[in-house]
Structure 1
Amino acid sequence: MNLRDYKTVADRRKALEKEADVLLSNIASFSLDEAVASSRNCENMIGAAQVPMGIAGPLKVKSQKSKVKSYFIPLATTEGALVASVNRGCKAVTESGGAMVDSYRVGATRGAVFHVSGLVENDKLNTFLEENFDQLQAVAAKTSAHLKLTKYFSRGLGRQRYIRFVFDTQDAMGMNMATIATTSVCQYIEAKTGARCISIAGNYDVDKKPSWLNVIEGRGIKSWAEVTLPSSVLRSVLKITASKMYEVWLAKCMIGSAVSGSMGYNAQFANIIAALFLATGQDLGHVGECSVGITTMEVVKKEKGIRKKENVADEDLYVNVYLPDLMVGTVGGGTGLGTQKEALSLLGVAGSNNGKNALRFAEIIAAAVLAGEISLL
């Protein structure tokens, strides 16, 4: 069977059914735009994989930049009880006044690697980068009106020089844009210095892999969400006390993660991120790196309007999640597919808005992750 002989999705699927002697009637049933999906999103397309989508919420979210708003969180998953668990977390957060969120754009990164003759040439290349960064920015800017090279990190090792370029890609996740821009920048560097680019992606990105560099420096968008759960909500919704939940968090997310060598000091970031990514058309290859984050907790007591770190009977619980590496977008890639665009529209962040939609989307993800952590712990 030669796949090139079949030009349409239906013809390719029918040929495969005959070749494999299997009926693919469910794979053949879908509502997305076949022409768009087969030309932009998936090669050798034969149909679509359908995953159930549920809703958790309402989840109240607030920030210094915007008014309080309630969201229904779309989660695509085959894991029974996940949506119900996040839904319970949403109830706890909302009854506690909502999640306070914040976000900061770091930028999409692409980490090229160059070969040089030795230490002297390595140092010269590093000096060239320092002295000609404005020229590199100009070269990158020519590749897209929606991209800006904002900074870079450079490390020399032996006969290699690794350069991590950081790009503001507005509302797009931006890896395709970053790759095109990096290609042009690397060609410019080669022409001006004589250094040879081994690869425009030398793993100094670090793309689609868990990495402490991404945790420390951030990648894509950094996002935070916090809430203080009153003792009444802890009792009525979560059936637990602040001290007990704190004990579980400490033993599991902190000590347990350290003992096991885990890079994620959290309970289940990946569950919520994967379900949200699938529902909204994000690149699922980024789930691994985006799930590396930290959950923190602190037992507090309200006393005359002031919260104190005291272990007493009427305890509240402060909970915070930090996601240093969210590679997300609201335009481009899979976000334009019908189902995924509807899910983004449900959150009010579909399309382009000078980078504001992607930032808000990252904040909503953080709030949903917060709800998931609270319910599981």
Structure 2
Amino acid sequence: MSGSNGPTTQRRAIPRDAVDDYTFQSAEQRRAFIREVSGVDLTHVAKYSFDPSLLQGNIENFIGAAQVPIGVAGPLRVNGEHAQGDFFVPLATTEGALVASYNRGMRLLTECGGVKTTIIERSMQRAPVFVFDDAAGARAFGLWVESNFTAIKQQAEATTHIGKLVEIQQFAVGPLRHLRFNYTTGDAAGQNMVGKATLAACQWISKTYPGGARYVLSGNMDTDKKHSSINMLLTRGRRVVAEAVIRKDILRDLMGVDPKALFETRQISNAGAFLAGSSNNGSHTPNGLAAMFIATGQDVADISESQAAVTYSQLLENGDYYWSVTLTSLIVGTVGGGTGLATQRECLEMLGCHGEGKADKFAEICAGVALAGETSLASAVLSGDWVSSHERLGRRHT
């Protein structure tokens, strides 16, 4: 019997080029490696139209592209502060009936005069936590942070020409002092931007605070890429409202539902959302937003925060129906990240939303799309079209 602890398996490293890993040749080498270890020939993954040299900063170990079908819905008329006009919206999805449903909701809103959109707040966070021996020490530190905000702001903003530190909120837990740094980030989603800025600020605080201060850069109170109630209340990304008055005659003609019945159903679904503890009392905000995110190069993981929404409605005295959706934590950008990649850039350009000065416009369109989806699905559930439309459009028929 040997002294070995048992057989070992040598790790097989994925091929990489230390000089330039973003080439057609490097991608082919990795596909050949996958073919060898799995027996799968990545014929379709290998088909794409962009140069891999453009991907540095977006992906590692590149092998090809996932081809997600893109449909178009619209026109959606938006009467916003930044987005004004009729928009045809790209939606990348593999869910049958989704594009058709949003298209129907966009027609309803447009025929009723369009959707009004308003951006209420803009904010992106990083939330470090400072650790002390006791609560009194943490409290003293908090007072020092308040009195030194201007200097902290200077340190943070020295790392970026776009990000601006607006405020630092504080939360005490035992000997811990959680600091929630709140920034504006221009046209970028901004998570990496504020991470770098907050690190610089924390390094300065740690060196400057009398006696020093120990910290962890993220104490998890920014809840990056996770839903949280604090972000619903205090905003992460953009807080955007989309609202419209739905005329009763158009609602009946296009959707086949009566405003009174729709309002009653709204109360029932509100109770259900409350019972479930849902972060969204609407029907399916993540559906349209995720499809837009994929099409336009947003960070799709941000849908976990961006999907949070509050639907509010009123049955008006004349029988028309007021409907609004508030997206509390919409995280989008029109520069950086995946927005400059080939197909994603084209989809943003479809909306006139690529580049600097366009993020507010894009956010308003996103909110309008969310409202369109709510009007369509809620009406389909009430009228009985929900299941039949998925049977007709959402299944493969042989």
Shift in Å, 1:4: 4.2
The equivalent residue for 1:266 is 282
> Could you tell me which of 132, 143, 151 is aligned with 1:127?
143
* 1:369 and 2:370 are equivalent in the alignment: yes
Instruction: Return the alpha-carbon distance in structure 2 between the equivalents of residues 34 and 67 of structure 1.
Output: 33
The equivalent residue for 2:250 is 233
The answer on whether the counterparts of 1:295 and 1:321 sit within 8 Å (CA) in structure 2 is yes
* 1:149 and 2:165 are equivalent in the alignment: yes
Shift in Å, 1:104: 2.9
The equivalent residue for 1:47 is 64
Question: CA offsets, 1:90-112, max 9 Å, x none?
Answer: 00000000001101342211111
The equivalent residue for 1:248 is 265
The answer on whether the counterparts of 1:33 and 1:338 sit within 8 Å (CA) in structure 2 is no
The equivalent residue for 1:307 is none
Question: CA offsets, 1:154-194, max 9 Å, x none?
Answer: 11111211111011110000011101001101101111121
The 5 Å alignment of 1:143-292 reads 143-193=159-209, 194-197=212-215, 199-252=216-269, 254-292=270-308
The equivalent residue for 2:78 is 61
Shift in Å, 1:259: 1.2
SS in 1 for 2:188: coil
The equivalent residue for 1:299 is 315
> Could you tell me which of 53, 71, 78 is aligned with 2:87?
71
Task: Name the aligned partner's letter for residue 348 of structure 2.
Answer: L
Instruction: Return the alpha-carbon distance in structure 2 between the equivalents of residues 350 and 216 of structure 1.
Output: 29
The answer on whether the counterparts of 2:259 and 2:315 sit within 8 Å (CA) in structure 1 is yes
Shift in Å, 1:342: 0.9
Instruction: Return the alpha-carbon distance in structure 2 between the equivalents of residues 10 and 269 of structure 1.
Output: 39
Task: Name the aligned partner's letter for residue 342 of structure 1.
Answer: E
Task: Name the aligned partner's letter for residue 19 of structure 1.
Answer: V
> Could you tell me which of 326, 330, 342 is aligned with 1:326?
330
Task: Name the aligned partner's letter for residue 301 of structure 1.
Answer: E
SS in 1 for 2:128: strand
The equivalent residue for 2:14 is 3
The equivalent residue for 2:349 is 345
The answer on whether the counterparts of 1:299 and 1:317 sit within 8 Å (CA) in structure 2 is yes
Instruction: Return the alpha-carbon distance in structure 2 between the equivalents of residues 350 and 67 of structure 1.
Output: 13
The answer on whether the counterparts of 1:101 and 1:225 sit within 8 Å (CA) in structure 2 is yes
SS in 1 for 2:77: strand
Instruction: Return the alpha-carbon distance in structure 1 between the equivalents of residues 204 and 239 of structure 2.
Output: 31
Instruction: Return the alpha-carbon distance in structure 1 between the equivalents of residues 123 and 62 of structure 2.
Output: 32
The answer on whether the counterparts of 1:93 and 1:227 sit within 8 Å (CA) in structure 2 is yes
Instruction: Return the alpha-carbon distance in structure 2 between the equivalents of residues 334 and 66 of structure 1.
Output: 22
Task: Name the aligned partner's letter for residue 225 of structure 2.
Answer: K
Task: Name the aligned partner's letter for residue 196 of structure 1.
Answer: R
Instruction: Return the alpha-carbon distance in structure 2 between the equivalents of residues 117 and 158 of structure 1.
Output: 9
The answer on whether the counterparts of 1:257 and 1:264 sit within 8 Å (CA) in structure 2 is yes
The equivalent residue for 2:134 is 118
RMSD of equivalent CA atoms = 1.2
The answer on whether the counterparts of 1:59 and 1:94 sit within 8 Å (CA) in structure 2 is yes
Calculate the TM-score normalised by the size of structure 1.
Answer: 0.93
Instruction: Return the alpha-carbon distance in structure 1 between the equivalents of residues 292 and 326 of structure 2.
Output: 17
Deviates more, 1:77-86 or 1:42-51: 42-51
Question: CA offsets, 1:271-330, max 9 Å, x none?
Answer: 01111111111111111111111111111133xxxxxxxxxxxx2111000001011100
Instruction: Return the alpha-carbon distance in structure 2 between the equivalents of residues 67 and 104 of structure 1.
Output: 15
Identity %: 37
For residues 5 and 33 of structure 1, do their structure 2 counterparts lie closer, same or farther at Cα, with a shift above 3 Å needed? closer
The equivalent residue for 1:83 is 99
The answer on whether the counterparts of 2:78 and 2:84 sit within 8 Å (CA) in structure 1 is yes
The equivalent residue for 1:36 is 54
Deviates more, 1:291-300 or 1:91-100: 291-300
For residues 182 and 207 of structure 1, do their structure 2 counterparts lie closer, same or farther at Cα, with a shift above 3 Å needed? same
Question: CA offsets, 1:3-55, max 9 Å, x none?
Answer: 14554111111111111111100111112331122x21111111111100011
Instruction: Return the alpha-carbon distance in structure 1 between the equivalents of residues 122 and 173 of structure 2.
Output: 25
Calculate the TM-score normalised by the size of structure 2.
Answer: 0.88
Question: CA offsets, 1:54-73, max 9 Å, x none?
Answer: 1110000003x358400011
SS in 1 for 2:317: strand
The answer on whether the counterparts of 1:106 and 1:166 sit within 8 Å (CA) in structure 2 is no
Larger Rg: 2
The answer on whether the counterparts of 1:104 and 1:359 sit within 8 Å (CA) in structure 2 is no
Deviates more, 1:327-336 or 1:243-252: 243-252
Question: CA offsets, 1:191-226, max 9 Å, x none?
Answer: 1121101x2111111211111100111111110011
The equivalent residue for 2:321 is 317
